[in-house]
Amino acid sequence: MDIMDSIKEQVESNDILLYMKGSPNAPQCGFSAQTVQNIMECGQKFAYVDILSNPDIRANLPKYANWPTFPQLWVKGELVGGCDIITEMHAKGELKTLLDEAAPAE
């Protein structure tokens, strides 16, 4: 499978997906750590891809997303943004609303 097809499949098959450096329990950069903290405080489960252990994704996702930096949060197949946008949305209460709508509580 082509790497762009792989990215498309990941984005479309996960309601909430974070491309980040490291893992939620061991982020490998401050921006990823901040983004994970914001998402976790909203209380929703989410999928993640460690771009450090997936160099093909790291190299091609910026082209796919037309967004140059990491982390990247995708919700329902749409790019929400990176650390600054997620942090701002979280501060305004918008992130929790978005994530709750994407993955309703069970």
Annotated binding site for [2Fe-2S] cluster: 29
Q: Using one digit for the tens of pLDDT, what is the confidence trace for 73-91? A: 999 999 999 999 999 999 9
What is the Cα–Cα distance from 77 to 7, expressed in whole angstroms?
11
Residues within the annotated binding site for glutathione?
Answer: 21, 58, 70, 83-84
- CA angle (35, 80, 105) in 5-degree steps: 75
Output the known binding site.
21, 29, 58, 70, 83-84
pLDDT of residue 1: 79
What are the structure tokens assigned to 21, written together? 């450096």
Which of 85, 65, 71 shows the shortest CA–CA distance to 31?
A: 71
Interatomic CA distance for residues 106 and 99, integer angstroms: 13
Task: Identify any residues that bridge with 72 across adjacent strands, giving them in sequence order.
Answer: 19
User: Which of these CATH numbers, 3.30.450.20, 3.30.420.40, 3.10.420.10, 3.40.30.10, describes 3-102?
Assistant: 3.40.30.10
104 has pLDDT over 70: no
Tokens for 52, please give them. 């450090």
Tens digit of pLDDT for each residue in 33-71? 999 999 999 999 999 999 999 999 999 999 999 999 999
Domain ranges in the chain are 3-102
Residue type, 102: A
Is residue 25's pLDDT more than 60?
yes
